[in-house]
Amino acid sequence: MKTKWILRFALALVVNGLAGGVTSAQTQHINGLGQTFAQVAPLGVPGNAATYSLSMAQAAANAWPVSGTVNSAQCGGAGAIAPKMVMKQTPTQCAVW
């Protein structure tokens, strides 16, 4: 009896996740401003830039529910090692990932 309940519960979680637009291969990420977004990439590790990507930053910016312009930029010198960022700006606010 308990096994049937567990199976029904697990199935409900999967169905609700799929209905919410999240597949089992996606991970829920937090954008740092209270919103989440789903991506196939694993969670980033703070302090390890190699675990983050431009698409993660763009998804984080797009998850922020304010109307604004999303742009990307590069800090410092050119090249693969220069830090990159995505920013979303409104007339009164700006967030950077």
Q: Rounded to whole angstroms, what are the CA distances from 73 to 39, 57, 63, 70, 96?
A: 22, 12, 19, 10, 10
DSSP 45: B
Residue type for position 16: N
Q: Is 57 exposed, middle or buried (0-12, 13-18, 19+ CB in 10 A)?
A: buried
Overall pTM > 0.75: no
Model confidence over 73-89: pLDDT tens digits?
888 776 667 778 999 99
What pLDDT was estimated at residue 21?
56
What pLDDT was estimated at residue 76?
77
Residue 92 belongs to domain spanning: 2-96
Domain count for the chain? 1
Q: How many other C-beta atoms can be found within 10 angstroms of the C-beta atom of residue 31?
A: 19
* Rounded Cα distance, 75 and 53, in Å: 15
Model confidence over 4-52: pLDDT tens digits?
555 455 545 544 444 555 555 899 999 999 999 999 989 999 989 889 9
